[in-house]
Homo-oligomer: A and B are copies of this chain.
């Protein structure tokens, strides 16, 4: 994979888990950008969590997925954190995961961070387990965080009418092309459903979710389409 005058990426490998929403974001980005990659599953539940293994801790001391590795000019490269990975890949192939104008670009980053820093960390596996082991209901708190966060995201879409037109929602959260904002939204909506959050009050978010359900790159990235997907419980 070569683009934009930068070095060729060889042996691009995504370490992840089918249902990890941060891994899912990177899969969507890779497919949207047309970048070939190997998928290397790290099972977050089996063996007490393979992300805690010494091998994986050398890939990511946070004991999390995703991790992207590749070689370029004989040198090993390794990145964690889904948004850092997506920004790198987008620049590498001169892609369109971010709007080109500065303010709409910032708006897409804002909406992505509302999920990445504002919602998803509060439903993180370690946090939920730790809260529950401490005597409170980690899953209930995660559910409330998702509900509140999506409500704020929908409110942001309403408030956007005050902003310059190019930063407003179009078919997607910012304008008429999928961006990192939508890439973060879709896995979060899936998690909202798993946590039985009522999506009825979020018409903009539901509309984008429907659009993504029909988009080839989003379909290829869906957890159920991954080799490490587990069958639904009977």
Contact = CB atoms under 8 A, between A and B. Distances in A.
Interface of A: 6, 57-58, 60-64, 75-81, 83-85, 87-88, 91-92, 102-103, 105-107, 109-110, 112-114, 116-118, 120-122, 124, 127, 130-131, 134-137, 140-141, 144-145, 149, 151-153, 155-156, 159, 162-164
Contacts of A131: 131, 134, 136, 141
Contacts of A134: 131, 136-137, 140-141
What secondary structure prevails in chain A residues at the interface with B? helix
Contact of A102 (B60, B92, B124, B136): B92
A117 B114 contact: no
Contacts of A153: 61
A81 B109 contact: yes
